[in-house]
Chains A and B, each alone.
Chain A
Amino acid sequence: MSIKRDSISVGVAVGAAGAAFGAVAVSSNFSVLQSCVLSLFLFSGASQFALVGILGGGGSPWSAIATGAFLGTRNGLYGIRMAGLLRNRGWRRVLAAHVTIDESTGMAIAQSNEAESRIAFWYTGFGVFFFWNLFTLLGALGAKAIGSSASWGLDVASPAIFVAVLWPRLKELKPKLTALVALSWALAVTHFLPVGVPILTTVIIAVFAGWN
């Protein structure tokens, strides 16, 4: 059945980026076990990269937690949409919530009827989960073996992934301007605030830009 096959292909393609995460986490002084626990339980690429980037770059634990959590708000919104489709209760709802991410939601809403949407949601969610965790472990073990992060380009893996994730969201003028203001603001206050805090303060820009 092609929905299942497509969903699992998405899982493999997206999951492979887990190797970059594992490698970045280990080169930011996280252990292999911590990298794997993040992929198992935090299971959200942007939050995971932000967390290891901020803490690894000398930021405070609070700014790492807050940025990681804020980046997860998007999944909460997806959950609102997906709950109406899945109508789960109990432990199935817990599992569904855990695999509610960009890809599972995207594949679910791309289908033509509810039954197919549910298949796409579960197969994509668990496909990404399986491969993301597998590749995290491989990447973490690989980085442990190769050492220095800058000489392998690992220090740009995370911002490059953010560029790829962000770009499709910037089709119109307003999000473009919002992104540009946030970027300039973060750099402008870098010298004056503790590491990690400049990123958090950009949430104010999200509120201003979205108010009207």
Chain B
Amino acid sequence: MSTQWWVVLSTSAAAFLLKYLGHLIPESWLEKPRVERITNNIPIVLLSGLIAMQTFTDKTRLVIDHRMAGIAVAIAAVIAKLPFPLVIIGAMATSAIVYRYR
């Protein structure tokens, strides 16, 4: 089995187990504020990290390229409270244009 298949299937299994475990755990576990604060922070740090990596890196190198223009537009669009599809399409169009005409 290829690496990709292996990753696809094991991440799917892990994610399902987490969801299923949630349905088995008593609700009182949520009432520990520290547990809740840390678990609320997890998507924040991972998503911020992913935005940084997918915008400014190429493997282990830091780079500034067309992607930065796209993300700048995405940030401007969320600040302007534009609808979700416009945020994505605006970012993609900007990045594609900068890539073509840089």
Contacts and interface: CB of A to CB of B under 8 A. Distances in A.
**Interface size range of chain A in the complex:** 35 or more
A159 B60 contact: no
Nearest to A163: B74
A64 to B, nearest CB: 5
Given A65-B14, A84-B27, A205-B45, A157 B88 contact: yes
A93 B71 CA distance: 39
B54 A158 contact: yes
B6 to A, nearest CB: 6
Contact of B11 (A30, A64, A170, A205): A64
Interface stretch (A53-61, A108-116, A126-134): A53-61
B15 A69 contact: yes
Contact of A79 (B19, B74, B87, B93): B19
A80 B44 contact: no
Nearest to A99: B19
Given A164-B78, A195-B59, A71 B43 contact: yes
A58 B54 CA distance: 12
Main secondary structure of the interface of A (DSSP, over half): helix
Contacts of A47: 11, 15
Contacts, number: 301
B60 A193 contact: yes
A72 B77 CA distance: 26
Main secondary structure of the interface of B (DSSP, over half): helix
Interface in B10-43: 10-12, 14-16, 18-27, 29-30, 34, 36-43
A155 B12 contact: no
A97 B24 CA distance: 10
Nearest to A179: B48
Contacts of B95: 150, 153, 155-156
Contacts of A96: 23
* Residue among A82, A156, A163 with the highest chain B CB neighbour number at 10 A: A156
A79 B91 CA distance: 33
Interface string A8-24: 00000100110010000
A98 B19 contact: yes
B22 A17 contact: no
A31 B96 CA distance: 23
A191 B61 contact: yes
Nearest to B73: A160
Interface in A127-149: none
* Residue among A13, A96, A182, A211 with the highest chain B CB neighbour number at 10 A: A182
Contacts of B78: 163-164, 167
A210 to B, nearest CB: 4
14 contacts: A61-B7, A70-B46, A72-B18, A79-B20, A80-B25, A83-B23, A88-B23, A100-B22, A162-B51, A164-B78, A178-B44, A198-B49, A199-B46, A210-B38
